Amino acid sequence: MASSDPKRLDQVYHHLQLIKAGEYAVIQGNSAGPDGGYRIVEKPWQALPEPIKLEILQHAVDWSGISSQDMACILLSEIDLNKIPDAARNRLNSMVLAHRNYGELLQEAAARGGGQTGKEQGLER
């Protein structure tokens, strides 16, 4: 299994903190509504649906120098497993099962101010 570059891990965790501190444009409404359309509103990270959070993290972070197992562990520590599609959860879980130090990675994430250590309950070993 390939090992992640520790310097790159620190950069990824820093980038995650910046992402989670931001606000994001979300389209709300529907054409059948009283105003007849959609509108764009700004929402904080915490208010975004988990599938959108996962997409943002997968595509907005530079994962170069990070092993696929570490990437999956980090993603799983940042989202609620029960609120993402089964296919996405299964793909991430299969990437992480080969990673022996998942608990250590979660502890490191928590120490850096990232990660949600209560989320590992959704990952079965």
- Token couple for 15: 């980038």
What is d(CA 17, CA 112) in angstroms, rounded to the nearest whole number?
A: 9
pLDDT above 90 as % of the chain: 45
Does the pLDDT value for residue 115 go beyond 60? no
pLDDT of 123 reads: 42
- Token couple for 22: 């931001």
Tell me what the mean pLDDT of segment 81-108 comes to.
76
54-58, 65-69, 100-104, 116-120: least confidently modelled range: 116-120
The domains of the chain are located at 6-21+47-115
Q: pLDDT of 7-17, one tens digit each?
A: 999 999 999 99
